[in-house]
Structure 1
């Protein structure tokens, strides 16, 4: 544990930098010039405002009291941890100049964050003590206060986002193209600071839509409308049905613990694929319960550049318990009663018409849903101009493949597996089309992963 009475050296601070560029940038910010309203507390807290490119300075704070290492917060758009502003603030404090970082009372924004960090530490410590002793429940009053504070921060972030969306529409979409991606990153960072990571992710998607190809203004306007709908859902969540309220909470980024008793089944591993950003690698594993006839999603995470720990081979079967999260197909993996084993089981399939209808029905409960998991029966991959589609062999319908699918080598594995004959395909069906993830040839044969 680091107390305020023990100053760090500059070398100790710079050892926290994620890369050499951050060390150089942090070193340049380790002087008083760009900083204002800096201060430090008695238990390892440092805070300050750093000049930014617009009228709002970046709010930066560091909590050095955590036994597991320093915690950082900053409203800048950087995805690095710690960012250059946190490094610069620590260097300013480590210099030992009392005038540059005087002792004092933390401002409201920093004090609130520091209090949340310490309550989380106490809760983790309490949880560990409970697990090792009698398993007493955590303090419900403390949990209620934390939930209220987070809801207030999300509401403030949503209100700010609504103002920015209004400014964008009034100023014209052409202004978004001129502003560049930095504007969206800065807005996303504000949503992260408001503890609404779901909103931050959707804001970054807006930034990626700008100048993304023909007719991008229409797509941008559609995404803005969906984001506005989500904002309004949060602001008026008390008026919504409970199920839709749970969906809104999930979409803004409020995760909920699994509900209800775990379900034991023999789970067929339908698909597994990874997506990555500069901070995190996310692994998605789709499962099908052979007895419960339900589809479930497992999520596993790894730090940037690291493979997530959980791995289940496609086409195997797992005897295990799953606990479902509310308002989502996501589940938590519980006790496993046997290792994954090869399986000849195949999930039941539907027609193209039924798959599209299933997605439409799901949108009634979740208007922001990108896709639903579905297995198509008797479809044939066929070219469609410069693209590809899955044509239903039993009816005169077809589903276009998504741009993501067209860029994967798995498309050619699917074409080779079919050879012009119908196949069974599991994937994700949404408003952009169908993304195939796994396929089976008619008759016997193992599952073929397409991603």
Structure 2
């Protein structure tokens, strides 16, 4: 499983996370600050992690399993400490080579002796009989997690009913605390997607603007997601896949690319944008592509931590002859990058559409995925223009008949002024995402691509 001395990539480590909450928490522990006496050899990684108590948590990972042991009370495998330790190790030289300390060596030796004798090694090295990904049938694990998420969704439905019974004004007065508690309950239910949406409700209840209307809209979407998951077995398969992904159930990338149901799409994919963003101690890279033959939009998402460079690097404008495997869903967008059939070459300026067609594309995608925030589009012959009063900037069609407001997030970014300078009052081609907040520009062409 682990060739001697070969470090895993950040994506390989994060693929082990049992849920999104663990991935985020592990990312916060990916730096050297909380760790002491960390070390690694060809088959194991170990270290002490400072926690809330006086005694640090003892964490060790057997890379040949992989299998994990940590003295923390978490019921998740791997826990956030094991993920953080693996991310630190994968990031470079922060974890030196050495021999395991006695507490780690005892557990590792016991595992290997039992493996040599044909007995199953316990997952955490202690007295717990809890099974892990390496010892429990996948179907049983999936069913158990689905039952937990179902219980969380049912509890959340009761919370929403109480909210509507008492009125939205009560939610506005409650602030963050009440919603944070509900979000924590969803994390315990292994439903990070539900937890994230609950936190959004907490932010809305404390925000300005038209709070009651926005709160009601988000409650309705959350109710729809709850009901969708509680009845997921009766949904059409593509919609069921969307619901599962929205609550936080992930698809294994290796299975997507090489599994028995793998169906990669080969095309010449034009890279439309590449943007990095900080997410705690991790860096996320989002690469948008469009197929030359199929016209399909795709999003490749990858993570890196510990100072390791992000991969792949695909600047806008490249044309890539490759296979993409799309994650299942009613409106597939995220994809994994498969086989490259030829070196990338410089591609042309992409063709685009007008404002009305962009809104129609987002509307059609929204019909398939009601929880979609935005959809990628290429706009052709649009001109950035100042709006009236407080409405901010807009992108206007060349004929002046239609205009699309810019996403408020764009107004605070230097890329907006770069776009205005490149345009100089002339129509330009712009790629970005079109959603309920407006249009977020990511790349323009002058005549070469420029990231915004």
TM-score normalised according to structure 1 size: 0.70
Aligned to 1:248: 243
Aligned to 2:69: 70
Counterparts of 1:80 and 1:209, CA distance in 2: 29
Is contact 2:176–2:206 with CA below 8 Å preserved after alignment? no
Aligned to 1:365: 368
Name the SS for the 2:349 alignment partner.
Answer: coil
Counterparts of 2:148 and 2:377, CA distance in 1: 37
Is contact 1:281–1:306 with CA below 8 Å preserved after alignment? no
Counterparts of 1:74 and 1:16, CA distance in 2: 16
* 2:337 is aligned with 1:333: yes
Is contact 2:47–2:60 with CA below 8 Å preserved after alignment? no
Label 1:410 to 1:65 Cα distance change in 2 as closer, same or farther (>3 A).
closer
Aligned to 2:396: 391
Using the TM superposition, give the Cα deviation of residue 182 of structure 1 relative to its aligned residue in structure 2, in angstroms. Answer: 3.6
Using the TM superposition, give the Cα deviation of residue 419 of structure 1 relative to its aligned residue in structure 2, in angstroms. Answer: 0.6
Determine which of 49, 53, 69 is the counterpart of 1:26: 53
Moved more, 159-168 or 358-367: 159-168
* 2:424 is aligned with 1:424: no
Counterparts of 2:295 and 2:436, CA distance in 1: 25
Counterparts of 2:190 and 2:209, CA distance in 1: 34
Which residues of 2 match residues 49-448 of structure 1 at below 5 A? 66-68=61-63, 69-70=68-69, 74=74, 81=81, 118-122=131-135, 142-257=137-252, 258=256, 260-278=262-280, 280-303=282-305, 308-327=310-329, 328-343=332-347, 345-384=348-387, 385-386=389-390, 387-394=392-399, 396-441=401-446, 445-448=447-450
Counterparts of 1:424 and 1:395, CA distance in 2: 16
Counterparts of 1:170 and 1:308, CA distance in 2: 48
Using the TM superposition, give the Cα deviation of residue 404 of structure 1 relative to its aligned residue in structure 2, in angstroms. Answer: 1.0
Aligned to 1:103: none
Counterparts of 2:142 and 2:155, CA distance in 1: 20
Is contact 2:59–2:81 with CA below 8 Å preserved after alignment? no
Using the TM superposition, give the Cα deviation of residue 66 of structure 1 relative to its aligned residue in structure 2, in angstroms. Answer: 4.9
Using the TM superposition, give the Cα deviation of residue 189 of structure 1 relative to its aligned residue in structure 2, in angstroms. Answer: 2.6
Is contact 2:175–2:206 with CA below 8 Å preserved after alignment? no
Counterparts of 2:302 and 2:437, CA distance in 1: 25
Aligned-residue Cα RMSD (Å) equals 3.3
Counterparts of 1:252 and 1:427, CA distance in 2: 26
Is contact 1:273–1:284 with CA below 8 Å preserved after alignment? yes
Name the SS for the 1:238 alignment partner.
Answer: helix
Using the TM superposition, give the Cα deviation of residue 318 of structure 1 relative to its aligned residue in structure 2, in angstroms. Answer: 2.1
TM-score normalised according to structure 2 size: 0.70
Aligned to 2:121: none
Counterparts of 2:141 and 2:47, CA distance in 1: 33
Using the TM superposition, give the Cα deviation of residue 414 of structure 1 relative to its aligned residue in structure 2, in angstroms. Answer: 0.7
Counterparts of 2:306 and 2:399, CA distance in 1: 45
Higher relative contact order (CA 8 A, sep 6+): 2
Counterparts of 1:189 and 1:304, CA distance in 2: 27
Is contact 1:281–1:307 with CA below 8 Å preserved after alignment? no
Label 1:169 to 1:80 Cα distance change in 2 as closer, same or farther (>3 A).
farther
Name the SS for the 2:371 alignment partner.
Answer: coil
Counterparts of 2:181 and 2:311, CA distance in 1: 32
Counting matched residue pairs gives: 351
Label 1:169 to 1:119 Cα distance change in 2 as closer, same or farther (>3 A).
same
Q: Can you give the 5+ residue segments of structure 1 that lack an aligned partner in the other structure? A: 1-10, 31-61, 84-93, 95-109, 124-141
Name the SS for the 2:264 alignment partner.
Answer: strand
